[in-house]
């Protein structure tokens, strides 16, 4: 038995979302049908607004309603430091910490030869231009994930920046607070030893 066309289209729409399978898409579709009309209208308006009203900051690549974004426009932030992250959600995670007061640069991905992603496919060119045009930047903090692609991206960017004389650092990786050494994998232990600090 086939679902009526409106339900089938709704299921297909949910299936386009990452991590949503057939069962979850069907459950979400029927949940949406049971929602109050006003909630469905609000939901659809939120989707349209997110698509139409948001864009990427021309300076850092963060998602924003205004250009430049609130972080780039905030002159009270430390203009000498820029954290380079893979995705917009990484900016949000670092901002929740409330300890970092510098700037950001969002790559929108990482280098991945397997997926055919080279330097021209992510936001590296604008980072280089930004560094050439802004003498205030003294340190780039590479905060890509500790994956082979993240490491390759960090290495590539550090080699690009090195001739400029700007200090390039990498976020420390290693044991999580509260974790036991016996349960850590070899790479985590290696990174923990490599990133050790004097106390």
pLDDT at 42: 97
* 168 phi/psi in degrees, rounded to 5: -120, 120
- 3-state helix, strand, coil split of the chain in percent (to 5) is 50, 10, 40
Paired with 52 in beta bridges are none
Domains of the chain, first to last: 5-53 (1.10.8.420), 71-193 (3.40.1360.10)
| Long-range contacts formed by 77-80: CB under 8 A, 24+ apart | 77/101, 77/102, 77/103, 78/102, 78/103, 79/103, 79/134, 79/136, 79/137, 80/136, 80/137, 80/138, 80/139
Paired with 170 in beta bridges are 142
pLDDT at 117: 94
Query: Of 83, 183, 66, 196, whose CA–CA distance to 142 is shortest?
Result: 83
Q: What is the pLDDT of residues 49-61, one digit of tens each?
A: 999 999 999 999 9
pLDDT at 193: 80
**21-25: average pLDDT:** 97
Quote the pTM value: 0.83
pLDDT at 198 over 70: no
């Amino acid at each position: 038995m086939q679902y009526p066309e409106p339900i089938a289209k709704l299921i297909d729409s949910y299936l386009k979302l990452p991590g949503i399978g057939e069962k979850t898409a069907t459950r979400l579709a029927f949940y949406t049908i049971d929602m109050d009309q006003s909630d469905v209208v609000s939901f659809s308006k939120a989707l349209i607004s997110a698509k139409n009203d948001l864009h990427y900051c021309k300076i850092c690549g963060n998602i924003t309603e205004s250009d430049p974004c609130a972080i780039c426009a905030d002159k009270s932030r430390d203009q000498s430091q820029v954290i380079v992250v893979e995705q917009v959600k990484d900016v949000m995670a670092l901002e929740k910490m409330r300890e970092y007061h510098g700037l950001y640069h969002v790559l929108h991905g990482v280098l991945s030869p397997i997926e055919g992603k080279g330097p021209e496919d992510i936001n590296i060119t604008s980072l280089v231009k930004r560094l050439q045009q802004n003498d205030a930047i003294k340190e780039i903090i590479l905060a890509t994930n500790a994956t082979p692609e993240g490491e390759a991206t960090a290495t590539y960017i550090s080699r690009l920046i090195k001739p400029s004389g700007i200090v390039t650092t990498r976020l420390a990786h290693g044991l999580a607070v509260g974790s036991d050494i016996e349960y850590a994998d070899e790479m985590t232990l290696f990174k923990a030893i490599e990133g050790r600090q004097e106390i």
